[in-house]
Amino acid sequence: MPKLVALDIPGGELFVSSLQKIWDQGNAAFPVDQRLPLEERRKLIERMGASKVISPDSEQERKGYPVEDGDALVVATSGTGGSPKGVVLTHDAVAASAKMTTDSLLVDPSSDRWLCCIPVSHIGGLSVVTRALLTGTEVEVHSEFSASACEKSARSGSTLVSLVVTAMRRIDVSLFRKVLVGGSSIPVDLPPNAIATYGMTETASGVVYDGFPLEGVEIKISDGQILIKSPSLLRCYRNGVSPFTDEGWFPTGDSGEFEKDGKLKVFGRLEHVIVSGGEMIWPATVEQALTGLSWVREAAVVGNPDKEWGEVVTAYVVPTDTQSSMSLAQTREALSEVLPRFALPRVLNVVNALPKTTSGKVAKKNLLSGAEFDYPISGD
């Protein structure tokens, strides 16, 4: 039986060659997040049932449990809604994802080069590596994001990159031919060469580009929830649970709707909806409006309990300049031009940085719990 091999290795040439070797041997790979403490990495490897661990200086056999023939990857979800789950992706799913992106971006393996500068333990970074391997396109893999290193790579020949919004804002995007932007709260005013993507670990990367599904992908809305059919979907979770409906649809847990032109609009996680005074408010809509203000670099919105309203819209913002922030009243006035009155924030917190998961998503449970989160801004 094929085994699951944990790759406890930072992003780089060794990671790429080790992944290819695992596949050549008929096994599946589990990339381990290098930013986790050692003990947490060990627990995650145990939880995913890896039978072998490859680190930079050793290979260790351990007691695990097998994968099935055809399985290529087990990828941990970001855990924004709780403990990470292991998503099992087959070779067919990974190949389908690579083909959809390559065809959409008109990638030319003879002239294009991918840059992977976000964690290879998460699907946004890992899919850059896998699509490069499967299409014969050159790839440069960094162990962590650095704005200067990212721009240097572009100047030396990298043409394609996948980024989260915070990283995108720290580089000269025009240096690349195409930039895939994922994660939460993607602004509407992206640079012309940037593409807003929607997808998740379970879809093996983005399956919707600028609001429209890629070739072979089907989207429908049922009771306000986005459902997906795609050749890139997971086989199951590592515990054997299948998430599909009887008709073969994957329920994303995200809320959305189709606009008049057929474009998919994603509101956010269903469990994150705010109900204030009987009105349903989607945090993503308020966050998008906030980041449209010149003084806001990043924003996160949650609903905090309130005796009178049930919940109140509470905004956390990272300013572009600590000297240029506005008061709650000024912010509400500015937002009133694009938001209904009931959706305007009633609480405004200005912070140095937002709490993030290891995949770069805002950890809203930290905001809701009142945990310390006023971190200094990282990166350069």
Please state whether 352 falls in left (phi above 0), alpha (psi between -120 and 50) or beta.
Answer: alpha
Of the candidates 5, 3, 86, 2, the residue with the CA atom closest to the CA atom of residue 52: 5
Using one digit for the tens of pLDDT, what is the confidence trace for 116-163? Answer: 999 999 999 999 999 999 999 999 999 999 999 999 999 999 999 999
Separation of alpha carbons 118 and 26, rounded Å: 27
Lowest mean pLDDT among 28-37, 41-50, 366-375: 366-375
Model confidence band, residue 42 (pLDDT cutoffs 50, 70, 90): very high
What is the percent of the chain with per-residue pLDDT over 70, rounded to a whole number? 93
322 exposure class (CB count in 10 Å sphere: 0-12, 13-18, 19+): exposed
Q: What is the pLDDT of residue 380?
A: 31
All structural domains of the chain, each given as residue ranges with its CATH number in brackets, are 4-264 (3.40.50.12780), 273-369 (3.30.300.30)
3-state SS, one letter per residue, for 187-243? CCCCCCCEEEEEEEHHHCEEEEECCEECCCCEEEEECCEEEEECCCCCCEECCCCCC
Please tell me the distance from the alpha carbon of residue 293 to that of residue 287, in angstroms, as a whole number.
10
Q: Look at residue 81 in the predicted model and tell me its pLDDT.
A: 46
Q: Name residues whose C-beta falls within 8 Å of residue 74's C-beta, 6 or more positions apart in sequence.
A: 4, 28, 29, 30, 48, 67, 86, 87, 88, 89, 238
Tell me, what DSSP letter sits at residue 375?
P
Relative to beta strand 160-164, strand 113-116 is parallel
Q: For 161-186, what is the mean pLDDT?
A: 90
Q: How far apart are CA 107 and CA 135, in angstroms?
A: 9
- Predicted confidence (pLDDT) per residue in 267-316, tens digit: 877 878 898 887 878 888 899 899 999 899 899 999 988 888 888 999 99
Question: Burial, 168: exposed, middle or buried (Cβ in 10 Å; 0-12, 13-18, 19+)?
Answer: buried
Binned at pLDDT 50, 70 and 90, residue 184 comes out as low
- Per-residue pLDDT at 10 exceeds 60: yes
Sign of CA dihedral 319, 320, 321, 324: negative
Determine the pLDDT at residue 369. 61
Q: How many CB atoms lie within 10 A of CB 16?
A: 20
Which of 67, 74, 53, 71 has its CA nearest to residue 122? Answer: 74
User: Stretch 162-178: mean pLDDT, rounded?
Assistant: 93
Please report which residue ranges of 72-122 form alpha helices under DSSP H: 91-105
Confidence class for position 365, pLDDT limits 50, 70, 90: confident
Strands 71-76, 113-116: pairing kind:
unpaired
